[in-house]
Each structure stands twice: as structure tokens, then as C-alpha cells.
Structure 1
């Protein structure tokens, strides 16, 4: 299995969901991300990072609120947003960077 840094340096877009188990909006994002993944398949890799279990990862990307979604491609941040993001918007952003 590839490491986080190896994955985000790849040519496939990687959508990282920084979340917390106690966060209500994060629970809303879960089924949206499942739908995006089932719709786009191999066009995107979706990773979930629990900020309470991975404080270093959260700190390194200056995560101040959850959920925060960051889209990486070839090691660069292509898009970032905090809060709940609707499925059609996520698909559009991922397709733009595919």
C-alpha cells in the first residue's frame, strides 16, 4: 500500500477528507463521498483522515475546521474547501483536474 505522500504525488487526483468522528457535518459528507467514488471510480482516490488520530497531518495542512476537503494531484493542492460540499460540485472539480 502506498503512503500518503506517494498517493498525493500521483497523476490520479486524490481527494482527502479531513474529518472528526464527533463532527456532524462530517457525517453528512460520508455518503456524498461514497456517491462520488462510485460514480467516478478509478478517476479519483478518496482518503479519509481523522484529525484526532492524525494531528500531524492536520497541522501540516493547517486544518482549522472539519470537514476540510483537499484535492491533490502530482503533489500539488488543486482545490480546498471547508464544510459540506455537494456531490455535483465535487464531481465537477475532480473532472476538471482529471
Structure 2
């Protein structure tokens, strides 16, 4: 992983890393075989660097951790969900550009 600011999370640590985090958290639900997921990967890493200390940014591999995506009704990837105070505040599905993702984050701040 290029950015040390980007969290790799799983079903096991989702509650601790996302729902109980004092910062807003953007979670990228992805899979290694997903082309659009790979396409936005570098953007997610850039945002993790740019928003470090203000927002936590995490990636969850849906193949390795299927319970959490199921709980949130994720049917397509990439899906990015913004959490604040343990609640879903916004969501984007599909490979979108950096401006759309930055706007999603900025709304939660």
C-alpha cells in the first residue's frame, strides 16, 4: 500500500476502526479483481494523505470480509460510504473522480 495513512480494515475490526472512530471515516468497499476499484485506488490514496488527521480513509476487501458489505446492502463495487459518529451520512457507487470524492468528504467535515 502506497499510503501509510490508508487503513486496511476487515469485518473483525470494522466497528473499532469505523463506527467508534472519533473522525469521519470514508470506507472504500473494493475487490482486487475489480477494474474500476483499481482505477480509483490511487485517488483514494491521495485523499488519505490530503485529509490525514481530519478524516480516516479505509479500504475493505469485500471478498475477504463479506459480512460488513452485506450489512450495508452493497451490491456493486466500488462503493464508498462516508460514516460520521457511527452513522452512514453519504454514499457513492462506481468509479468517480477525485472532485466528487473530495466533495463527499468535505460535506462530512
1:9/1:76 contact within 8 Å kept: no
- Corresponding pairs, count: 96
Gaps of 5+ in 2: 1-12
Distance 2:52 2:95 in 1: 21
Aligned residue number for residue 9 of structure 1: 20
Q: TM-score under structure 1 normalisation?
A: 0.89
Provide the alpha-carbon RMSD of the alignment. 1.2
Q: TM-score under structure 2 normalisation?
A: 0.81
Please list the CA deviations of residues 30-82 of structure 1 after superposition, one character each: whole Å capped at 9, or x if unmatched: 10101111122111111111111111111111110110000000011011111
Aligned residue number for residue 20 of structure 1: 31
Structure-to-structure mapping, 1:21-60, within 5 angstroms: 21-60=32-71
Three-state SS of the structure 2 residue aligned to 1:96 is helix
State the 4+ residue runs in structure 1 displaced beyond 6 angstroms.
none
Gaps of 5+ in 1: none
Match of 2:81 among 70, 76, 83: 70
